[in-house]
Amino acid sequence: MSRVTEALIPPSQRLSADELHDALNLGAGEVGRKRSAFLIMLVLSAIIAAAGVLGDSTATVIGAMIIAPLATPILGIALGIVVGQLRLVVTSLLWVMIGVVVVIAIGAVFAVFVADPTALQSNSQITGRTSPGLLDLAAALATGTAGAFAMSRRDLSTVLPGVAIAISLVPPLGVVGVCAGVGEWDAAIGALWLFLSNVVALIIAGSIIFTLAGYAREPSSLPTARRRRAYVIVGIAAVIVVIPLAFNTIVSFALTSWGLTIRDAAQDWVNTDSSASVTGVHWVGVNATIDVVTDDGEIPDTADLATALDGLPEFVGVSVRVQTEAEYAIR
């Protein structure tokens, strides 16, 4: 290893290739113990995640992150790529797929019996995981690096719970299940894409760290040429994931900018009526709705607002939703 690598992963603290392989491979060593522990913790984390998502409880969702075991087979894929062991890659991938199915199924079951579809639209645990962007990918790359780095060193086991919280693999799958259970397929696909981007980022970061740690040069590793195809596949997967994330980021930036323009114009527009005020601007696709509250339900001439918004793109729709501050005594 180079001096920089030795400074980051001292030889005295570096796990051997066999030790790392045993830690990340669910198909080697004490297979029964590993797999039973994986499944038990997976089911429990899925139940906790579904409850946390439906209850909109950040603390509960964090609990699911801490005990979620999915990072193990994902980093196993990265190690298999680095050392050229196709069997490890396939075995780890199968366990990831099993985990995906189990968590989504549990989330869907919870949603069918518990979820209120109308309440999900304002649920912060769902809205925060259904429109991933490049920032989510950057965070996943950083946490994947931290996870692989911690797995490579004997003295960093104490930071693994923090890494587990940052990785956040099970909650997006819980959101997929919950949203699918109530028929919110667009939100489910968005959360699934967040999970897939996290997985790809973990594999990329893990492959880089394990390579820097010298595992690719172990005697048991295959020559670089034999691993080249795996690197190409991971690269293609990264491109496929990045494109929609970049698109989402651009769209999100544009909607934020247009929303500020609309809100400022609407505020100037209602200032002519002392009883009216703008309470918010909400987007559905590229259609913005301005919420206005008045005493009597009357609003200024909308033609003035339309003129003020001439600078927006033609495809952006704008409407005004008027509410009154009327209050009625019931008893």
pLDDT tens track for 160-176: 655 665 567 888 999 99
Count of CA atoms in the C-beta half-sphere (13 A) of 29: 13
User: Out of 71-75, 153-157, 216-220, which region has the weakest mean confidence (pLDDT)?
Assistant: 216-220
pLDDT for residue 19: 84
pLDDT for residue 96: 94
pLDDT for residue 106: 94
pLDDT for residue 224: 59
| Euclidean distance between CA atoms 160 and 148, whole angstroms | 10
pLDDT for residue 107: 92
167: left (phi over 0), alpha (psi -120 to 50) or beta: alpha
**Beta strand pairing call for 317-324 and 277-284:** unpaired
Q: DSSP secondary structure string, 167-224?
A: H--HHHHHHHHHHHHTT-HHHHHHHHHHHHHHHHHHHHHHHHHHHHTTGGGSTTSPPH
Q: Which helix (H) or strand (E) holds 287?
A: strand 287-294
pLDDT for residue 48: 93
Q: Region 253-282: what's the mean pLDDT?
A: 84
Q: Region 285-294: what's the mean pLDDT?
A: 85
pLDDT for residue 17: 82
For the chain, give the mean pLDDT.
83
Question: Confidence band (pLDDT; 50, 70, 90) for 226?
Answer: low
DSSP 75: H
pLDDT for residue 98: 94
Q: Region 222-240: what's the mean pLDDT?
A: 71
Q: Is the pLDDT score of 158 beyond 60?
A: no
Q: Which residues lie below 8 Å from residue 113, measured CB to CB, with a gap of 6+? A: none
Q: Is the pLDDT score of 303 beyond 80?
A: yes
Q: What is the pTM of this model?
A: 0.80
pLDDT for residue 164: 64
pLDDT tens track for 47-101: 999 999 888 888 898 888 888 888 889 999 998 888 888 888 999 999 999 999 9
Report the percent of the chain where pLDDT is more than 70: 87
pLDDT for residue 166: 57
Question: Confidence band (pLDDT; 50, 70, 90) for 243?
Answer: confident
pLDDT for residue 280: 85
Better-predicted residue by pLDDT, 236 or 273:
236
Q: Region 5-16: what's the mean pLDDT?
A: 76
Q: Which helix (H) or strand (E) holds 18?
A: helix 17-24
Task: Return the residue matching tokens 């949203």.
Answer: 179
- Under CATH, which architecture does the 256-324 domain have? 2-Layer Sandwich (3.30)
Which tokens in the block code for residue 133? Answer: 């962007």
Contact 285, 255 (CB under 8 A): no
Q: Where are the domains of the chain?
A: 3-222, 256-324
| Euclidean distance between CA atoms 145 and 139, whole angstroms | 10
pLDDT tens track for 96-137: 999 999 999 999 999 888 767 667 777 888 888 888 888 888
In sequence order, the β-bridge partners of residue 278 are 292
Report the percent of the chain where pLDDT is more than 90: 15
Question: Confidence band (pLDDT; 50, 70, 90) for 25?
Answer: confident
Q: Region 268-288: what's the mean pLDDT?
A: 81
